[in-house]
Amino acid sequence: MQRGLSNIYLIKCCKCSIVKKVYTNQVFDYQRGLFTINAKAAAGSLDAGIGESQLNSLLTSMNIETVSSALLKRYERKIGKCIEEVAIESCSQSLEEEKTLAQSANYIVLDTHRSLLGHGVLMGHYSKKIFSYATRSKNCRKCRLGHDKSDHDCRMNYDGSAKSMEADMAVKLYIKNPLFAQHDVFGARIIMDNDWSTIATLP
């Protein structure tokens, strides 16, 4: 039985006829049948910024069984929260490093991208590391299909225009950032593109 990149073989004893399951890869959740190799494939896809099609193209070239989009998405949801926890801790460490390097002068680089899904990050001028990020999403496939927000990890959190999305993330990252209060820091200067709608929202 194929389970993504792993398999389960049913081996029958020729003497006692007892059937045993043999797993070709480590299982980290027997109740849900989750395999380590599939979780690593999902994590690697997220890290490389590729999806099911690109991953399956790579697997096909190596004569390895492909994975379905549903399986990949299931593992992404499973490991996604762990990745977010690590990201938050990493941002906290980067902010503390930037605080040490900056001393009196504090420059912050703001970079954003907007569409149906917007991404925004704050980077330290001295450490060159990201220490805060925000996302804005105007779309959720499950919500479109009629699912209630309580039965899935819905990431739709914005209903404004794409133009105002960048400004909204800038406020969240630069003005209402909880990490700034935790580490007792503030941004003295910000480096960004010439977006006047965003500039107007910042002090």
Whole-number percent of the chain with pLDDT over 90? 12
Helix (H, G, I), strand (E, B) or coil at 67: coil
**Any idea which residue has 């006047």 for tokens?**
196
> pLDDT for 173-189, tens place per residue?
888 888 888 888 877 77
Q: For residue 12, count CB atoms less than 10 angstroms from its CB and return exposed for 0-12, middle for 13-18, buried for 19 or more.
A: exposed
Residue 112 confidence (pLDDT): 63
> pLDDT for 13-66, tens place per residue?
888 889 998 888 888 887 777 899 999 999 999 888 888 899 999 999 999 989
- Residue 89 has, within 13 A of its CA and on its CB side, a CA count of 6
Residue 41 confidence (pLDDT): 92
* pLDDT above 90: residue 135: no
- Residue 16 has, within 13 A of its CA and on its CB side, a CA count of 4
Angle of the 36-48 helix axis to the 52-61 helix axis, nearest 10: 120
Cβ contacts of 88 within 8 Å, gap of 6 or more: none
Helix (H, G, I), strand (E, B) or coil at 179: helix
CB 108 within 8 A of CB 189: yes
Q: How confident is residue 108, by pLDDT bands cut at 50, 70 and 90?
A: low
Residue 158 confidence (pLDDT): 86
Q: How confident is residue 109, by pLDDT bands cut at 50, 70 and 90?
A: low
* Terminal CA-CA length for the chain: 60
Mean pLDDT score, 134-139? 87
Q: Rounded CA gap, 154 and 148, in Å?
A: 9
Ramachandran class of 87: left when φ > 0, alpha when ψ lies in -120 to 50, beta otherwise? alpha
Residue 114 confidence (pLDDT): 58
Confidence (pTM): 0.61
Would you state the structure tokens that stand for residue 55, as one six-digit string? 């991953």
Residue 176 confidence (pLDDT): 87
Question: Is the four-CA dihedral 76, 77, 79, 83 of positive or negative sign?
Answer: positive
